Amino acid sequence: MQKSEFLDRLQEGKLSRRQVHKILIGAGMALTTMPITRRAAQAADEAIYFTWSGYDDPGFFPAYVKKHGGNPQMPVFADSEEARTKVQNGFVVDIDHPCSTDVKRWTDANLLQAIDTSRLTGWGTVFPQLKSLQNTQIDGKQFFIPIDWGNTSILYRPDLVDIKEESWTLLWDERYKGKLSVAADGTSSVPLAGIVAGAKNPFDMTEAEVAQVKELLVKQKPLLRFYWDSNSTVEQALASGELVASDGWNSSVVALQGQGVPIKFMNPKEGIMSYCCGLVLTKNAPHLDKAYDLMDAMLQPEAGKWLVTAMGYGHSNKATFDALSDDELKAVNLPRDPTVFFEKSIFQQYIPNTDVIQKMFEEVKAGA
Amino acid sequence: MHSKAISRLLTAFALAYLAFLYIPVLLLPLFSFNDNIYITFPLKGFTLKWYEAMVAAQPLIDSLVASVQVGFAVSVVSTVIGMLAAMGLTRYQFPGKGLITSTIMLPLVIPYIILGISLLSLARQVLDIDLSLWTIVAAHVLVCVPLSMLVLIARMEGFDKSLEEASLDLGEGAWRTFWRVTFPLAVPGIVSSFLLCFSTSFDEFVLAFFLSGNQPTLPIYMYSLLRFPAKVAGALALASCILMGSIILIVFAEWYRRRGIQSQQEGLI
Amino acid sequence: MAATGAIDSGGRPGASGWDSLRRFWRRRPGLRALVLLSPALIILLVMMVAPLLLTVALSFATQNGFQIDRTPTLANYAMLFSPEGNLYRILIVKSLWVSFTATVAVVVLAYPMAYYLAFRVHRRKLLWIILITVPFWTSYLLRVFAWKVILGFNGAINSGLIWTGVIDKPLEFLLYNPTAVTITLAHAWAAYAILPIYVSLEKIDRSLLEAATDLGDGPLRRFLRITLPLSLPGTIAATLLVFIPTVGDYLTPSLVGGTSGIMVGNSIATLYGKANNGPMGAALSIAMMLAITLVVCAFLVLIGPKRLRRQAG
């Protein structure tokens, strides 16, 4: 059928149903076989950076974009463990973005290669405490490049909560029954309870301590509205007043304040928890040079400034903090000298008996 | 019981049910114009910034296109295979029918997380094929074929073979008999199968995650966005666009069809 | 199939080979069935059998850190039956129950809708069908967020009730409990229930219904004696389509089920991932699949082996 004839017929509604079907099928097949965008075709040879989907903003690695003219390829994950499972089962990437507590799982599974820090120009000014986090170095070799860090503490609504002192025990306060929450992730909520129980090392508890913690968690369960699965859920609930307090990250404070919600980030007397996430290099990384470019780009103060001001996370490079103004730091609740935090806070660590902890937490949740 | 009363009750129920289906979904466009990154009442103010953010978020749109492509491919392939299987099962008698039916239904029983990890191993470690949208299509076809087959069996059950036999007796070949007799009768089942397979694939996350290469599909991208609540609002705008776009497309198609009917006096499905 | 020789072309040179092939084809309905089924079976064999065998094999292994010890052992299954395995037994039963209630809710609500579509809508049926599936093209996550907005503390229902003065403090029991899970699932699976039932109802011969009316049956008797039984394939399909996958679903319960929202799927995912115990996860999955199979078989037997044979025949 000629094109003009087709258009005429279309207008007059005279195309038979058969013809319309044929056209639809043809269009469908064309749609299916079309490559996504030209961009995707161009990006085919860039470094493969496996991370959270919000990180695809070029602000996180401006130096890489400048050098290579585009973003790296970015497959995304929603859960760090699932990401590791996928790589373990054969998915090829250059760089992944786990938290320091997970690095041991990657090295135990023999998935990583050591990173040659002399190739990273930004490495010199990285905070020394972050360079040597537990399990990130093996035989003096560096397997983890810290990028973003933050604090985990209690987010609470000062207009709905009345407390005399700041303590983790707020999450066990009977007065706020049904309006509290903790993370559904056992590796976060169990050490939290461990801190309250007074365990010697909340990340490596003895059998007796685990039993104690279980009792605490069972006591806590009826006070909770739900176990949160993402900080979107927590922030939504705090914004609407469904929750008055929950554990969460400092970046959430920034976001909530930005929307005009009265919120405070607690500095508990037992100690605030800190986390640090960053980059690891896989063993059979196909684009080694570009991978190093990417890692270095994410360490630069330019990228760090973006991370701090746009996302509210801390950056691992001291030079970034030097480059930020007092106002900018105040807006995101970060101190001029974060080493204060690193010295005093309880850094999250690898939990050796993860399976025991997870099972115990599931039993609490299932009521078994 | 008066049939008129029943009729009115039924109509009321149908409308209420449609409201039930749509109300949660219509909230999405409402909040996509709300000047608040959190999806909560009270409403704050009108804004278009989420739509601007959505247009600027190229990876989000890429993942939408990927999902549409995968969904379409999966629907077509699953429906064809499901149709063949349904024809085989409803029109012939042979031993082991129950066993074969249950076998084909197996993908429904196995948890997707196990299926995903196993298929990933199969693809990468045994067959050494790269992950891409096509590996996702393969996995989705596996779980959509039982779906398609079930729907089409429901349609083809007790199929009156005498119609086909009449057509063959009158001189039509097997292929034309299929197209002119079997296919038109099966169309509601085929359309249903197509729609269900598309919906399943379009919104499926677990299998898609484990079998995706460097191009994510929309659910993968969105689940990952939950870590950044500010970006979730952009996804809201996209979902609203999908909703509005689909409805406009359907309304247009219906309007066009009615014009066709008026000029051709064709029948209906 | 009808008269085998009726359409054979006669007398063409060299045609006898094709003719005998065609005759062979027509006389073997079993072969035709097999050919029709082959694509489905091939896909299944290649993509399903391997994962299944891997999972079964894994369930007999044990894991230590990242090392998998392949010496066959029944330890995982023993755990399931031991007092330590209480958690898993509870989760399986709970998942079956939640899935059962959700399935009943979905199918019972979907049936009248499908009936309306099949019998009361006379024009634009396709439009209605598509309209029913369109809501499910928006992201599942966002739909759950929307449900939270409706059922939540400051949500639509509560705000509305407070505004009209019916209550003065928000209702807390609307969200984060098993009821919320059932409502969300009834919404999520709607299309999967409506369409198979519709497809089945649609093909009921209207003349049967007319005959019944002529013979004096009232609408209720007509429905019970003709419509309902004839729509059974579709209803059974709907039931299976909703029940089976829901048992393993962990997303909805974790998002809206509150503190009691954990199901067996969560546990399996954790065992495969964070808890580093793939073999136990595999054993639990097998146990879950067997439980589902048992329940489904019991259901199908209940429906009536006679009727089933009639449908399958």
pTM: 0.85
Using a CB–CB cutoff of 8 Å, tell me whether A88 touches chain B: no
pLDDT at A30: 63
The whole-number average pLDDT for the span A54-61 is: 86
Domain ranges for chain C: 55-312
C4 has a pLDDT exceeding 60: no
Rounded distance between C-alpha atoms, residue C116 and residue C121, angstroms:
7
User: Nearest CB to C196: which of B28, B138, B150?
Assistant: B150
Rounded distance between C-alpha atoms, residue B102 and residue B149, angstroms:
11
The whole-number average pLDDT for the span B112-118 is: 88
The whole-number average pLDDT for the span B75-102 is: 85
Residue with the larger pLDDT of the pair C30 and A128? A128
State pLDDT tens for residues A205-259: 999 999 999 999 999 999 999 999 888 889 988 988 889 999 998 888 888 988 8
Superfamily (CATH H level) for C55-312: MetI-like (1.10.3720.10)
CA-to-CA dists, residue A237 to A231, C111, C184, C272, angstroms: 10, 36, 18, 30
Interface test with B, best of A228, A232, A309 (most B CBs within 10 A): A232
Rounded distance between C-alpha atoms, residue A33 and residue C222, angstroms:
50
A37 has a pLDDT exceeding 70: no
Closest CA to C276 of A355, A100, B177, A239: A355
- Smallest CA–CA distance, residue C236 to chain B, in Å, is 9
CATH code of the domain containing B249: 1.10.3720.10
Strands (E), B8-116: none
Closest CA to B18 of C201, C117, C197, C239: C117
Residue of C nearest to A222 (CA): C259
Inspect the interface and report whether the beta carbons of B110 and C55 lie closer than 8 Å. Answer: yes
What is the β-pairing status of strands A180-183 and A245-249? parallel
**DSSP state, residue C155:** S
Question: What type of residue is A178?
Answer: G
pLDDT band of residue B88 (cuts 50, 70, 90) is confident
pLDDT at C311: 47
Q: How would you label B40-55 residue by residue, b for 16+ Cβ within 10 Å and e otherwise?
A: bbeeeeeeeebbebbe
A25 has a pLDDT exceeding 70: no
pLDDT band of residue A154 (cuts 50, 70, 90) is very high
* Angle at which helices C86-115 and C264-272 cross, to 10°: 130
Closest CA to C125 of C212, C198, C188, C228: C198
SS3 at position A172 = helix
| Contact between residue C193 and residue B196 where contact means Cβ atoms under 8 Å apart | no
User: Is B9 contained in some domain?
Assistant: no
In the structure encoding, which two tokens stand for residue B121, read together?
């191993």
User: Is B29 contained in some domain?
Assistant: no
The whole-number average pLDDT for the span B241-261 is: 79
A143 has a pLDDT exceeding 70: yes
SS3 at position A334 = coil
Q: How many CB atoms lie under 10 A from the CB of residue C16?
A: 10
pLDDT at A203: 92
Dihedral sign from CA coordinates of C127, C128, C133, C139: positive
pLDDT at A43: 60
State pLDDT tens for residues C215-229: 887 778 888 888 888
State pLDDT tens for residues A161-186: 998 889 999 999 999 999 999 998 88
Peptide bond into B42 cis (omega under 30): yes
State pLDDT tens for residues A328-363: 888 887 888 888 878 888 888 888 888 889 889 989
Q: Which residues pair with residue A248 across a beta bridge?
A: A153
The whole-number average pLDDT for the span A293-318 is: 91
SS3 at position C42 = helix
| Contact between residue C50 and residue B115 where contact means Cβ atoms under 8 Å apart | no
SS3 at position C304 = coil
Using a CB–CB cutoff of 8 Å, tell me whether C279 touches chain A: no
Residue of A nearest to C274 (CA): A81
State pLDDT tens for residues A82-138: 899 899 888 999 999 999 998 998 998 899 999 999 999 989 999 998 998 888 899
B89 has a pLDDT exceeding 60: yes
- Smallest CA–CA distance, residue C222 to chain B, in Å, is 12
Question: Which distant-in-sequence residues (6+ apart) come within 8 Å of A137 by Cβ?
Answer: A143, A144
SS3 at position B96 = coil
User: Is B2 contained in some domain?
Assistant: no
Rounded distance between C-alpha atoms, residue A123 and residue A111, angstroms:
23
Contact residues, chain B, for A235 at CB < 8 Å? 38, 229
The whole-number average pLDDT for the span B171-191 is: 79
pLDDT at C2: 42
pLDDT at A305: 92
SS3 at position A150 = strand
In the structure encoding, which two tokens stand for residue B158, read together?
């007790």
Residue of A nearest to B207 (CA): A86
Question: What type of residue is A344?
Answer: K
Quickly list H helices, A69-133: 80-88, 103-108, 128-131
pLDDT band of residue A23 (cuts 50, 70, 90) is low
C230 has a pLDDT exceeding 90: no
The whole-number average pLDDT for the span B14-32 is: 90
Question: What type of residue is A171?
Answer: L
pLDDT at C13: 52
Give the residue numbers spanning the domain of B197: 51-264
Rounded distance between C-alpha atoms, residue C201 and residue C198, angstroms:
5
- The winner for highest mean pLDDT among B75-84, B115-124, C55-64, C117-126 is B75-84
Residue tagged 């690891």 (tokens): A280
In the structure encoding, which two tokens stand for residue C223, read together?
């429905």
A11 has a pLDDT exceeding 60: no
Domain count, chain B: 1
Q: List residues of A whose CB lies inside 8 A of any C CB.
A: 79, 81-82, 84-85, 105, 108-110, 178, 184-187, 221-222, 224-227, 229, 233, 236-237, 240-242, 354-355, 358-359, 362-363, 365-368
Residue of B nearest to C28 (CA): B92
pLDDT at C7: 43
State the Cα torsion A206-A210-A213-A214 to the nearest 10°.
-170
- Chain B: partners with 3+ C-beta pairs within 8 Å: A, C
**DSSP state, residue A34:** S
Residue tagged 């001001």 (tokens): A309
Residue with the larger pLDDT of the pair C49 and A28? C49
Backbone torsion region of residue A134, taken as left when φ is above 0, otherwise alpha when ψ lies between -120 and 50, otherwise beta:
beta
Residue with the larger pLDDT of the pair B104 and C25? B104
Backbone torsion region of residue C304, taken as left when φ is above 0, otherwise alpha when ψ lies between -120 and 50, otherwise beta:
left
B86 has a pLDDT exceeding 80: yes
Report the alpha-carbon angle C258-C264-C265, nearest 5.
90
SS3 at position C69 = strand
- Smallest CA–CA distance, residue A173 to chain C, in Å, is 17
Question: How much of chain A exceeds pLDDT 90, in percent?
Answer: 47
Residue tagged 């996928």 (tokens): A86
| Contact between residue C308 and residue C300 where contact means Cβ atoms under 8 Å apart | yes
pLDDT band of residue A22 (cuts 50, 70, 90) is low
pLDDT band of residue C12 (cuts 50, 70, 90) is low
In the structure encoding, which two tokens stand for residue B119, read together?
């298929």
Inspect the interface and report whether the beta carbons of C116 and B41 lie closer than 8 Å. Answer: no
In the structure encoding, which two tokens stand for residue B171, read together?
């001189």
**DSSP state, residue A46:** S
B139 has a pLDDT exceeding 90: yes
Contact residues, chain A, for C154 at CB < 8 Å? 240-242
Inspect the interface and report whether the beta carbons of A226 and C267 lie closer than 8 Å. Answer: no
Report the alpha-carbon angle B68-B73-B77, nearest 5.
150
SS3 at position B267 = coil
Rounded distance between C-alpha atoms, residue B210 and residue B67, angstroms:
15
pLDDT at B65: 92
Residue of B nearest to C53 (CA): B118
The whole-number average pLDDT for the span B42-68 is: 87
| Contact between residue C256 and residue C144 where contact means Cβ atoms under 8 Å apart | yes
Residue of C nearest to A88 (CA): C66
What is the β-pairing status of strands A180-183 and A224-228? parallel
ipTM over 0.90? The verdict is no
Rounded distance between C-alpha atoms, residue C178 and residue C256, angstroms:
8
Residue with the larger pLDDT of the pair C62 and B260? C62
Report the alpha-carbon angle A115-A120-A125, nearest 5.
110
Question: What type of residue is A12?
Answer: E
**Residue-by-residue DSSP string for A192-240:** HHHHHHT-SSTTS--HHHHHHHHHHHHHHGGGEEEEESSHHHHHHHHHH
pLDDT band of residue B264 (cuts 50, 70, 90) is low
The whole-number average pLDDT for the span C96-112 is: 93
Inspect the interface and report whether the beta carbons of C274 and A81 lie closer than 8 Å. Answer: yes
